[in-house]
């Protein structure tokens, strides 16, 4: 289905509304899927009006990924958020979750769309979605797609915010392809990672649309910190490993498909791509978030193209892309999250996935979500989708936290998001632990070698104590979580 921006942002006889009137249509115990992923493309007006509503409410909010203060902060401050799925990035909602006042359920991003359509999180009442254009039975998303197509399909009703702060030309990057639910699901007909198989529009029955609200408010996306000396050394170690892998690994002989996790570390590693000698290979990004570092790689000619589900850019990055969107749209495509994070596509394209973690233990199990195994940070996001299904899954992380007071290489992580079976390589500023084909005892030796030098002796002492037990994986369970003082 084509789209002509000359026809305007709002087309046809749609039910125009104010944000307050739209908020009044939301039931007090509603299950509300909202658009948004990577801190962009989320509703910015109706959720604030819901927070200001005089009614007592206990709401369930489902998003594709991270959203802004207008959703999470506003509803937590108003005491109206009872349950949250499956990922969050805001301090206020994180504190409420860890205090037990908001129930949180963490899920793999690739599965959320199906789970919402199947009613796993309750029957969705009203989807609230940001768009750059809307008609009687269609909308065009803004700076992210995420799981919005599934949310629109699942919800009984739909409220659309048409945001004039987002360029209508974003329609050029969207490739919306919606799949049938199992068991009637067909293979995804995507020949190459930057091919297009869909349309810019999300379609829906016209009777679902109950309100269209006009807004003019920019995203408040990630603020990427400047790379630290540790970040740069991790990037250098990763680059050296990848250059050697290009020569060794037949999967990378002609093309390289890369994915990076969201955040400052991922952005710093993206920015180091230009230092790697790829030769005449095509280099393509196939991941879930498109960040500032990829703009540089497209401008330099390093990247042939990029496929993602969100333009998770800084404000400067957004301005840069919006100013030249016609050019970037030839190289960048946004897809629904169940396509961008699809296991079969990740495996078929031989994606090299580079993500981070809170900590990794001696045997290669990684904790990506919970400090001390108890306090959630954001959620697993798409890390599990890529770590498990990549032909080469890499965890890149600093060897310490808290200014060096905490080792991020530990004997046994108290919470596991990515098992030893999911990871191939761990990179820190101290080197590369290539865990492929190694026994647990051999993996422990590799992991100690990339730990910070001040903790290696303690880790070795732990390993010596663990050797007194029998088994394939050896632990001294009396000291696994108090090893530093032993």
Q: How far apart are CA 27 and CA 31, in angstroms?
A: 9
Annotated active-site residue in 288, 359, 420, 446: 288
**Is residue 301 left, alpha or beta, with left meaning phi > 0 and alpha meaning psi from -120 to 50?**
left
Q: Is 288 an active-site residue?
A: yes
Contact 204, 137 (CB under 8 A): yes
Q: How far apart are CA 435 and CA 451, in angstroms?
A: 14
Contact 287, 277 (CB under 8 A): no
Q: What's the sign of the alpha-carbon dihedral 203, 208, 214, 215?
A: negative
Contact 418, 366 (CB under 8 A): yes
Question: Which residues are 60's β-sheet partners?
Answer: 31, 83
Q: How far apart are CA 185 and CA 224, in angstroms?
A: 39
Tokens 């078929």 belong to residue = 348
Question: Which residues are 306's β-sheet partners?
Answer: 285, 332
Q: Which residues of 196-222 are buried (b: 16+ CB within 10 A; e: fewer)?
A: eebbbbbbbeeebbbbbbbbebbbebb
Tokens 């990763």 belong to residue = 238
User: What is the β-pairing status of strands 303-308 and 282-286?
Assistant: parallel
- Residue 303: partners with Cβ closer than 8 Å, 6 or more residues away: 273, 283, 284, 285, 294, 297, 331
Q: How far apart are CA 317 and CA 51, in angstroms?
A: 30
Which residues are identified as catalytic? Answer: 288
């Amino acid at each position: 289905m084509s789209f002509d921006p000359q026809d305007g942002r709002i087309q046809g006889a749609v039910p125009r509304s104010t944000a307050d009137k739209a908020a009044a249509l939301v039931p007090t115990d509603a299950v509300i899927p909202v658009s948004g992923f990577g801190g962009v493309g989320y509703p910015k007006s109706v959720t604030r009006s819901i927070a200001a509503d005089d009614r007592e409410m206990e709401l369930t909010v489902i998003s594709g990924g991270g959203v802004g203060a207008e959703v999470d902060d506003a509803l937590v401050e108003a005491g109206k958020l009872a349950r949250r799925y499956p990922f969050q990035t805001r301090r206020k909602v994180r504190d409420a979750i860890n205090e037990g006042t908001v129930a949180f359920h963490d899920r793999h991003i690739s599965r959320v769309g199906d789970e919402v359509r199947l009613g796993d999180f309750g029957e969705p009442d009203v989807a609230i979605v940001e768009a750059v254009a809307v008609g009687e039975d269609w909308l065009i998303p803004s700076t992210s797609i995420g799981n919005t197509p599934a949310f629109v399909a699942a919800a009984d009703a739909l409220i659309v915010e048409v945001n004039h702060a987002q360029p209508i030309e974003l329609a050029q990057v969207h490739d919306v392809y919606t799949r049938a639910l199992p068991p009637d699901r067909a293979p995804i007909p995507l020949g190459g990672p930057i091919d297009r198989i869909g349309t810019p529009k999300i379609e829906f029955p016209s009777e679902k649309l109950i309100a269209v609200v006009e807004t003019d408010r920019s995203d408040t996306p990630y603020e990427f910190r400047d790379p630290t000396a540790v970040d740069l050394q991790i990037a250098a170690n990763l680059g050296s490993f990848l250059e050697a892998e290009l020569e060794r690994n037949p999967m990378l002989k002609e093309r390289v498909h890369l994915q990076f996790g969201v955040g400052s570390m991922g952005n710093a590693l993206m920015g180091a791509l230009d230092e790697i000698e790829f030769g005449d290979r095509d280099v393509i990004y196939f991941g879930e978030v498109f960040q500032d570092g990829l703009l540089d790689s497209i401008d330099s000619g390093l990247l042939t193209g990029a496929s993602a589900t969100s333009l998770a850019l800084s404000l400067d990055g957004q301005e840069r892309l919006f100013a030249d969107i016609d050019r970037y749209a030839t190289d960048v495509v946004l897809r629904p999250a169940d396509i961008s994070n699809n296991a079969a596509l990740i495996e078929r394209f031989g994606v090299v996935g580079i993500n981070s973690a809170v900590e990794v233990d001696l045997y290669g199990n990684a904790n990506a979500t919970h400090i001390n195994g108890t306090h959630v940070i954001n959620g697993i996001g798409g890390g599990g989708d890529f770590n498990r299904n990549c032909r080469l899954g890499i965890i890149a992380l600093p060897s310490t936290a808290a200014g060096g007071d905490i080792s991020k290489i530990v004997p046994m992580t108290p919470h596991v998001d990515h098992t030893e079976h999911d990871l191939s390589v761990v990179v820190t500023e101290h080197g590369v632990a290539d865990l492929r084909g190694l026994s647990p005892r051999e993996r422990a030796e590799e992991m100690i070698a990339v730990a910070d030098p001040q903790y290696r002796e303690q880790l070795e002492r732990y390993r010596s104590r663990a050797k007194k037990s029998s088994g394939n994986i050896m632990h001294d369970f009396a000291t696994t979580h108090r090893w530093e003082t032993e």
